[in-house]
Structure 1
Amino acid sequence: MGTARVLRPETAPDGTLLSYFTPEATHVVSRAKELLVERPHGHVLKAGSDVTPNANVLSATAYAYGVFASHVVVGNTSANRFVSVQRNHLNLLRSSGVRALARIDGEWRLLGVPSALVMDLGGVHWVYATDAGRVDVRTVVRSDARGLELRIDAEQALDLLVTVDVELGAGHWSATSELDGRALAFTADDGTDVAEHCPGLAYVIATATGRIGGDAVLFPDGRSRDTPVVTVRFDAATSASVVLTGDLDGRTAALRVAREGIDHPLGVEAELAAHRAYVADFTRHLHVDGDGRLAELNLLLPWFTQNALVHFLVPHGLEQYSGAAWGTRDVCQGPLELNLAFGHHDTVRDIVLRVFAHQFDDGTLPQWFMPDSYAERYQDDAHGDVVVWPLMALGEYLAATGDTAVLDAEVPFWDHAHRGPGTVPVPVAEHVRRSLGYIRTHRAPGTQLLSYGEGDWDDTLQPAQDTMKEEMASAWTVALLYQATRTLEDVLRGTTHADLAAELGAEADTIAAEFSDRFVIDDVLAGYVVFAPEGPWPVIHPSDDRTGLHYRLIPMTRSIIAGLFTPDQALRHEELVEEHLHFPDGVRLMDRPAPFHDGITRFFRRGEQAANVGREVGLMYTHAHVRYTQALATLGRDRLVAELLRISPVGQHDRLATSAPRQRNCYYSSSDAAFTDRYDAAAHFDRLRDGTVAVKGGWRVYSSGPGIYLRQVVQGALGIVERSGAVVFDPVLALEDDGTMIRIDLGGVRRTVRYHVDAGNAPVRVEVDGVPVPGVEVAAVYRHGGLRVAAADLQGTGEAPSGLIDVYVGDDRSTLHA
């Protein structure tokens, strides 16, 4: 594939090159690799350069096996779909999406799996070696508009046929010929869902040289079968292109972009470079110099950032194509932490206010909601932890900015009766009080602990017994509530909101007083405790003889992150995680899957019903592993970087012998065990630990995981935490990271940061251009804190400061010792 430098090559046992990256993070995949993977290589393309919510965004999904675009949609990714979704990874239905056929040796051939596939942030390139010479197909989305171009280039003149399968079919879209027959413009029919919610939405299919028609050309008798397929035919062509556009602002806007596309074809390389620049700008041009182990981030960071922006701005994925909603819990994590990581605090504030605007007047929130013109669609109820997440998000924002004025910002409560925005503005402080009010009235019996409700983060453990909703408490949810309320108390104490700080502090104090007595039994934190009339009993604990499950990960890691454990408890549970829950591919939610009784539920619904051996059974949720790395950062453990890289798909094939072949440039929501069925998993789960069972990549792209991962890279490992008027330097690195140099924009200025890691527990020191700068050590639990340096002291000295920042730190940050 040209003269590009090959980075991180993947080879077959016989030495055949399967895939690699280029220095620009472009990923190149061979046909042989595509034939090895269970999930076909795919890419969710997002047009434009939006970094904040905007309903008027076009996206499309492409797959390696000749799906040059599918799920082409503007706005709501579930309701507004125009080009059909490719729903089957076996490519059984070969009409879906946008396809292309070439007439070779007198026969029409469908272009399928290519000889090579090249994936860039803003486009995909298929390379076919055919009997008629090389054929190149490129799909590129516009970086500055709502449009995409499909371009075919052939060495020899060929008859070409492009098919576009319209999702909703006849009776839902009406088409008119436009641009002198070079385009078809589609608008939704009256009375349809799209027309009701997005009356201006229009899509356009356009071509400069092709003939647009219906499906008649697909059949030998030349008669239409009235399918929703639009065809574009090119005779004896060496070059052909089809442009697809869409716009919520109407046909004129969509046609304008289409006309530009056919009159002035995209400069592909310039367009791809613009997408790379867009992501680089968002990530403050973070780059690791040299070839140390952290250099892998240069290939991972652009893709995880793109995936995180897809999750935030056009919610859907390669497997979860029916997204569109914001999960209340999800948006308060992935998008919020992505923006915290790179200092986009205005966007964080916007997220906080948008979430509170969907709060009901009783203090609760929906599990998920549509953030667009379909806002009347949301889940009426929610898991028990969802009420906590707006508090957590607000605390994170305030800790980063000190912007206590946000408490006085006014947003209405959601009008649940009319399923629409409220009309009476209410200060955010009152929203916080409503949350506290709900929490105070929903306690587990005989305690001051928030009850479990409909579940917590692990949605495989939703209660199967109605009594568990009220009688059970989740140690994870309670620890999360402690962290949220304690954080808010700390940032609001001494401000004009001191009364609210006292209320929040009282809740945190209550939890601290009860937590160990209620949840820590025989020195082990229970996953849950049921406070039944006959007396409390633990669930997921060594003494739990009902479920047979003994250890649960996320209460342990969250209690460390929240600083809720005593030092001895933190050490004890760190050891328990390593002994019982750490596996070669990452940490698992529990020491074994929930018991399977042929689908009959006893305690937990999905965990006991799931027949598919996916994440509900394999138990390795990548998101939970990222939170584990956050716990390691909280403890100051030098294995943090190793654990972050453990789940990087870029180099996992080199690190993990049991890793089944998979796509290497996207986020996986789970690592799935290759057991044959539930019975096999139950009998042989320990084989995951000894490496005799393979692990496969789960669902891709659509997750809060990429955002929280990037935050742990920037703020956890590299230790660059932007605060109002200051930067906290707080790296957690190992001796092998000594000498690592990164480039990053700080305060709008490109900086080079060089890390000096010494053996021992030396505190953080910072020099700018070789001159020590003053700073204040930041308080931390379980370890030595970082150094807060005023932004003014980072400017350097002399007439031409180099901007070089030297950070000195020991590899042992912890104050805990066994």
Structure 2
Amino acid sequence: MITLTRDDLSYTFLPTGDIFEFTHESTLINQFQGNPVDGSANNIYLRVHTEQGISSYPLLGIRSGSKLSHSQDQLIFEGSIEAISYRVTFAPARDGIWFWHIQLSGSGETVDVVYGQDIGVAGKGGVLANELYMSQYLDHSIWEGTNGYAVCSRQNQPQGMAFPYLQQGVVGTRAVGYSTDGMQFFGVSYKGSYVPEVLSGNLQNSNYQYELAYTALQTELMTLSVPAEFAFYGLFRPTHPAAVTELEFQAELQAAYDEIDWSAGEAVPSRDVPVLSTDIGAPYVSAQWTQAEIDAAYPNRKLEEIENGELLSFFTDEHVHVVLQPKELLVERPHGHIITTLLDKSQVDNNLISSTNYMYGIFNGQTVVGNTSFHKLLSTPRGLLNIQRNSGQRIYIRLDGVYRILTLPAAYEMGVNFAKWHYQVEDDLLTVTVFAAAGQPDVALQVQSKLGRAYDYLITNQLVMGEHEFQHPVRVEARDGILQVLPDEASVQQLPYPGLHFDIQLPGTAYTYSDDRMFYTDRQPRNGTLLTISVTQSASFQLVIQGRLTQADSLPLVSPYTPETEEALFKGFYEAFTSGFHLQLDGEEQSRIDILNETVWWYTHNAMTHFIMPHGLEQPGGAAWGTRDVCQGPMEYFLMTQHYELARNVMLKIYSHQLWESKEWPQWFMFDQHPVQAHEWHGDVVLWPLKCISDYIKATGDYSILEEQVGYHHLADALPSQRTETVLEHVKAAVETIRERFVPGTSLINYAGGDWDDTLQPADEALKTKLVSAWTVALAFQVIRNLSQVTTADAEFSASLAVMAEEMKESFRTLLIKDGVIAGFAYFQEDGSIDYMLHPLDQQTGIHYRLLPMTRSIIAELVTPEQAVANFRLIDEHLNHPDGVRLMDRPARYEGGVSTIFRRAEQAASVGREISLQYVHAHIRYLEASAKLGEADRAWEGLFQINPINIRQSVPNAQLRQSNMYFSSSDGNFPDRYSYQQNFDQLRDGSVEVKGGWRLYSSGPGIYLNQLISAILGIRFSDEELIIDPVLPASLDGLRFTYECFGRPLTFVYHIGSGPARTPELHAAGVAVTGQVLSNPYRPGAVSIAKNNLLTLPGNELHIYLAQ
């Protein structure tokens, strides 16, 4: 490493001259840590303009061919390109400034220079944990001065108490172009080509606030009839508390530049500078398949996605999703998949392996056993564009004498436990398959030539053995043909799993292993994290990764795994775990029925990944249960599918993590042996375990769970307590915390640390006690009322809860509904007066309507039928959009990222996730409220507004997205928050496109399936009863739904007539079936059948007659 320092800044370069990292104390200024093979994500490009076009040349690092020298305070890159000589000098200066000084001389060539720099500008841990998230909070502002454009980037989310700031521009010439996100600079084709798209044209001169903060600047054209001399600069400030309103620090910048001597000085040529081996060639992108080749490979297709006459993706009859290369070149978010070992049907099992793969050639990444944050074998691919090709596991194939990394295939298949890449290699077809074993924490990589042709391969693996790459030494030991990968000795002593290790085997295949040395001409190793496995002249081989949490002996595999066998085991498990779910209907709705059948299969995969191996594609870290998350998606899924034993064990684990000191729950907690949890929680978090326990008891009749002895966890060290109490005592303690938070003189629970919408955390501490969220109160009412119904064995406690619920209802109706509109928030002044916020009377935020209390108050049966109708009228008038319902009628005001009322809502610079306001989770709860009211058409259509499969058929302004992954938000395609504020109404008329947000890591898939089955198809379970309560439109007349109930497969046949809504009538084998009619305050109620009666019905069909 080469490290230059000045003041409190440290500039660390690789021996190649590429940036490894720029830091100020704990702040990481760049975003990607460079490596010797890829170089750095940053560079400076000389572009030569001729009549034939633009030729571009990197000037820095291993891919430049520059000669590197350095002095004590400068790093110098020199070389020539055609007849042009260049010299680039990197020099730290005073006042947190650095320069890239450029000298060019030539013979009249027309050139310009493009500068690109990835930026983190946040705490190093945060950037390494999730660079996408940190980029969302970097506010870029562009200012034009005497030297053209400069880009100022302020980190809006406080890093400790600071708001780091970076300014970049030029001195000595003019910057005539700029861009701010890597998507603009590299483009989606970079995933396969490794060539930045922007180099063949001009920078866009637009500010795109997205998820890869990357500043680019383009100089004006210059003619090298005389030498040119200028510099790009970076200026860092540890904090910039105010919003950026002008271009600052110009005097300091010029003074720092003027005092540097740019002559050669006493620079010393760098020794042993790595040079890339000529054995490494260009990336390999498969030829795209013709329609005839697609037909031959996949004769049976359904749910085809076609754009402009071109087939992009489809599903097969075996629930396999296939994506063709043209689609991958149209989407910003690369197609990816997470595979895991099968979970235990009854216990929470941490001894599982999980691995992430991507279509662009990550075959295994984020490969972990157990904890998804701390137990990584292989590194996580960073960013969305395949910028660092040494991440995860990659394959190089030797073609025409050089090794070429496999990137984009012709087709990419995904099954729940596998992924396949099909590469056309001349007349051969190379298929790479990655799959998870069903019964062991093993993942296998299989490579096979269709023609049986032998090739040479390199399989590179970036090892982590901890949380992040480059942080821990890794041990690799060869034993009896097994490569064992272990943490370093120091880490082992600190792990709660001291036996953690991974075994790598290639059964029946000869191989050699090394590090990264073969990538350089001198064959010397540089990157200690890279494990390279070489397989020569093989037509087929399998590499198996085995994750182990204990020091059990590693045993050689007798033979390779058979992918078809493992796939069959997964298929059998999924068919059983989904209770045999299947819908059938001939006619116009058949396509949508197919969509739902695929959705149940894939959302089960998504939900169980979120449950047992918590992480997602855009959120690779996690390893923890969000308290409110695990109490919703997973628990609702287990109850709707009658996996009661698993639900019970999850419930007890949740209660064991109640905090001893506060009797509330942390926002999130790790559920394995790692003592890690959040030290704060939002005001609604305490409610979810309480809701969960009552839902569980209502569904199962298992009152004995209240008598189970369960411990607590401590707040300070996250360790379990010695003392245990019954679950009922846990419940009583939690209820008491709710009482203690009532606003004086009311039965309204205060806001505390926030509510479900994480972006609306209060910026002012006073809001925590004086502000009330109407949504939280509605949820609290529902929870307390339901608890009163399941705790009747303690008559006094049950009665007190019933009184408490009635008092909450009275306070809600009299204090939180003003002029017929439920306020989003109510602020209680010292004199007892109320300021209504997120309400038509709100003059402070400009936001007048909030979705959450309108839907939750209906779900909870808290409001009158008249108010429920009014709620939906307001939703239709102010919150409904073509892509779903939005959380509020306007976004929170954005003024440079400085918070005044709310934190993240006013800090996020990007229009994504909750900021987009169409958070899919909330839309699903809107469907729940729709079903509660009997709004059949609304509920049915709403399912497809948020379903990724062929979404453009339901949402014409939707951009393409991955079809088998839950997306957590629908984001307006606005470049920044200011455009979003100004043009928000375009979301209502559909004139702006909407994009899919982060994928998979959400409780949403489980909730979606629960609403589909329990609320819309209307099949749910209560203590020894089946409740039938469908809310379906007339277009579904004749629908057949097969599902297992109390262990018996049944087919429900829906007969939907016209006329006023009524309680369903039931028939089996032509005979009327009687049941108990249940009440619903908003419409005719459901009917319930006793379990014993259901199990003795003649035949396997139950006919349901209803009207809509």
Q: Please give the TM-score of this superposition, normalised by the length of structure 1.
A: 0.95
- The CA deviation string for residues 519-543 of structure 1, in whole angstroms up to 9 with x for no partner, is 1111100000000125210110011
Q: Secondary structure at the match of 2:671?
A: coil
Relative to structure 1, the CA distance from residue 194 to residue 589 in structure 2 (aligned partners, 3 Å threshold; closer, same or farther) is: farther
- The CA deviation string for residues 228-260 of structure 1, in whole angstroms up to 9 with x for no partner, is 1111111121112211111112242xx33xx33
Alignment of 1:663-742 (within 5 A): 663-742=962-1041
For 2:1090 and 2:515, the matched residues in 1 are separated by 65
| Offset, 1:733 | 0.4
For 2:972 and 2:472, the matched residues in 1 are separated by 44
1:347 lines up with 2:646 in the alignment: yes
Q: Secondary structure at the match of 1:750?
A: strand
- The CA deviation string for residues 256-284 of structure 1, in whole angstroms up to 9 with x for no partner, is 3xx33xx3222222222222222221111
- The CA deviation string for residues 713-769 of structure 1, in whole angstroms up to 9 with x for no partner, is 110111111223221111110100110002111221222111111112232112222
Partner residue in 2 for 1:245: 546
Aligned partner (choices 302, 306, 318) of residue 24 of structure 1: 318
For 1:132 and 1:85, the matched residues in 2 are separated by 34
Q: Which amino acid in 1 is paired with 2:857?
A: S
Partner residue in 2 for 1:780: 1080
Greater Cα shift, 655-664 or 419-428: 419-428
Relative to structure 1, the CA distance from residue 332 to residue 170 in structure 2 (aligned partners, 3 Å threshold; closer, same or farther) is: closer
For 1:504 and 1:193, the matched residues in 2 are separated by 49
Q: Which amino acid in 2 is paired with 1:165?
A: Q
| Offset, 1:193 | 6.5
1:416 lines up with 2:715 in the alignment: yes
Partner residue in 1 for 2:945: 646
Q: Secondary structure at the match of 2:1055?
A: strand
Q: Which amino acid in 2 is paired with 1:668?
A: F
| Offset, 1:781 | 2.3
Partner residue in 2 for 1:449: 748
| Offset, 1:417 | 5.0
Q: Is the 8 A contact 1:606 1:616 kept in 2?
A: no
| Offset, 1:3 | 4.1
For 2:652 and 2:1092, the matched residues in 1 are separated by 31
Aligned partner (choices 880, 893, 902) of residue 595 of structure 1: 893
For 1:672 and 1:299, the matched residues in 2 are separated by 24
Q: Is the 8 A contact 1:769 1:796 kept in 2?
A: no
Aligned partner (choices 463, 479, 492) of residue 778 of structure 2: 479
Q: Secondary structure at the match of 2:454?
A: strand
Q: Secondary structure at the match of 1:24?
A: coil
| Offset, 1:418 | 5.0
Aligned partner (choices 107, 120, 136) of residue 402 of structure 2: 107
Q: Which amino acid in 1 is paired with 2:608?
A: L
Q: Secondary structure at the match of 1:440?
A: helix
For 2:326 and 2:731, the matched residues in 1 are separated by 55
Q: Secondary structure at the match of 1:599?
A: coil
Q: Is the 8 A contact 2:710 2:724 kept in 1?
A: yes
Higher relative contact order (CA 8 A, sep 6+): 1
Segments of 5+ residues of structure 2 without an aligned counterpart are: 1-293
Partner residue in 1 for 2:666: 366
Partner residue in 1 for 2:55: none
Partner residue in 2 for 1:579: 877
Relative to structure 1, the CA distance from residue 194 to residue 556 in structure 2 (aligned partners, 3 Å threshold; closer, same or farther) is: farther
Alignment of 1:383-782 (within 5 A): 383-416=682-715, 418-492=717-791, 495-534=792-831, 535-639=833-937, 640-760=939-1059, 761-782=1061-1082
Partner residue in 2 for 1:184: 483
Partner residue in 1 for 2:171: none
- The CA deviation string for residues 159-189 of structure 1, in whole angstroms up to 9 with x for no partner, is 111111102458533221122xx22112222
What percent identity do the matched residue pairs reach?
39
Aligned partner (choices 200, 213, 218) of residue 519 of structure 2: 218
For 1:513 and 1:584, the matched residues in 2 are separated by 36
| Offset, 1:573 | 0.5
Q: Which amino acid in 2 is paired with 1:551?
A: Y
Q: Secondary structure at the match of 1:412?
A: strand
Relative to structure 1, the CA distance from residue 99 to residue 418 in structure 2 (aligned partners, 3 Å threshold; closer, same or farther) is: closer
- The CA deviation string for residues 29-57 of structure 1, in whole angstroms up to 9 with x for no partner, is 11000110110000011123434421111
| Offset, 1:628 | 0.3
For 1:11 and 1:96, the matched residues in 2 are separated by 33
Q: Is the 8 A contact 2:701 2:1024 kept in 1?
A: no
For 1:241 and 1:598, the matched residues in 2 are separated by 53
Q: Is the 8 A contact 1:49 1:278 kept in 2?
A: no
Aligned partner (choices 600, 618, 623) of residue 324 of structure 1: 623
For 1:724 and 1:441, the matched residues in 2 are separated by 33
For 2:854 and 2:608, the matched residues in 1 are separated by 30
Which has the higher Rg, Structure 1 or Structure 2?
A: 2
Partner residue in 2 for 1:336: 635
For 1:527 and 1:29, the matched residues in 2 are separated by 42
1:116 lines up with 2:411 in the alignment: yes
Aligned partner (choices 279, 282, 294) of residue 574 of structure 2: 279
| Offset, 1:609 | 0.7
For 1:99 and 1:178, the matched residues in 2 are separated by 24
How many equivalent pairs are there? Answer: 796
- The CA deviation string for residues 488-522 of structure 1, in whole angstroms up to 9 with x for no partner, is 11233xx3222221121122111111111111111
| Offset, 1:651 | 2.6
Q: Secondary structure at the match of 2:651?
A: helix
Q: Secondary structure at the match of 2:1067?
A: strand
Q: Is the 8 A contact 1:104 1:132 kept in 2?
A: no
| Offset, 1:132 | 6.1
Greater Cα shift, 670-679 or 651-660: 651-660
Q: Which amino acid in 1 is paired with 2:905?
A: G
Q: Secondary structure at the match of 1:220?
A: coil
For 2:990 and 2:699, the matched residues in 1 are separated by 42
Segments of 5+ residues of structure 1 without an aligned counterpart are: 812-818
Q: Is the 8 A contact 1:777 1:785 kept in 2?
A: yes
| Offset, 1:389 | 1.1
For 1:100 and 1:251, the matched residues in 2 are separated by 30
For 1:141 and 1:553, the matched residues in 2 are separated by 41
For 2:928 and 2:304, the matched residues in 1 are separated by 30
- The CA deviation string for residues 558-582 of structure 1, in whole angstroms up to 9 with x for no partner, is 0000000011111100111111101
For 2:1069 and 2:723, the matched residues in 1 are separated by 54
For 1:381 and 1:316, the matched residues in 2 are separated by 21
For 2:717 and 2:1012, the matched residues in 1 are separated by 43
Q: Is the 8 A contact 1:363 1:436 kept in 2?
A: no
Q: Which amino acid in 1 is paired with 2:914?
A: E
For 2:471 and 2:815, the matched residues in 1 are separated by 61
For 2:816 and 2:679, the matched residues in 1 are separated by 30
For 2:846 and 2:1062, the matched residues in 1 are separated by 45
For 1:599 and 1:660, the matched residues in 2 are separated by 28
For 1:489 and 1:718, the matched residues in 2 are separated by 28
Q: Is the 8 A contact 1:621 1:669 kept in 2?
A: yes
Partner residue in 1 for 2:23: none
Q: Is the 8 A contact 2:914 2:969 kept in 1?
A: no
Q: Secondary structure at the match of 1:88?
A: coil
For 1:778 and 1:243, the matched residues in 2 are separated by 55
Q: Please give the TM-score of this superposition, normalised by the length of structure 2.
A: 0.71
Relative to structure 1, the CA distance from residue 281 to residue 173 in structure 2 (aligned partners, 3 Å threshold; closer, same or farther) is: same
Q: Is the 8 A contact 2:617 2:998 kept in 1?
A: yes
